[in-house]
Amino acid sequence: MSDMSRKPSTPTTSAPSSYGVPSKPSVQTAAGSGIDQLKDQVGDALDRGKSNLTDSASAAGDSLNEDVAKLRKDMAAIQQTLSQFASEAGNEAMKTAQNVGNAVVSQAGAVAQQVGDTAIEYASVATQQVKTLASEMESMARKNPLGTIGATLLVGVVIGMMSRGGRV
């Protein structure tokens, strides 16, 4: 038979052909070898991806730890700043209260001084008026001695009636 009339067969092995000429590797063997290579390549790619993913996760974890440490330091600094602010605000409030207290005391002292000065002035005026009244009564008593005795008697009777409660 001729090669043309023969049906092409797909040998499964690379055994020599019936004509004594070695044949090419079979398609299945080539396909099997290609699949194995592809499996190896995919496996290697998966291993590299897994390794890269592990490295990335580790780097991200380290970065996260650094960021958390920085946040803790920042929070501590904020807390210290707030404490210092509260302390300074308290000191300023205390100083303001002292200043207001001092202002009130000084104004109260000034008012008390004014009241004292006014009281001294009124006492001085009252003393002058009493002296003037005493001097006028003395001059009246010198001019009219009998009227002074009558007035004195009348004042004595009124005081006596008041002390007894109006009983005769």
Query: What's the pLDDT score for residue 4?
Result: 46
10 lies in some domain = no
The answer as to whether 6 is a domain residue is no
Q: Which structural domain, as residue segments, surrounds residue 93?
A: 28-162
Residues near 147 by beta carbon (within 8 Å), at least 6 away in sequence: 140
- Domain membership flag for residue 5: no
Mean pLDDT of successive 10-residue segments in the chain (168 residues)?
46 47 54 81 89 87 88 87 86 88 85 89 90 87 87 90 76
Residue 20 falls inside a structural domain: no
- The count of structural domains within the chain is 1
Locate tokens 């409660």: which residue?
165
* N residues, the chain: 168
Is residue 29 within 8 A of residue 35, CB to CB? The reply is no
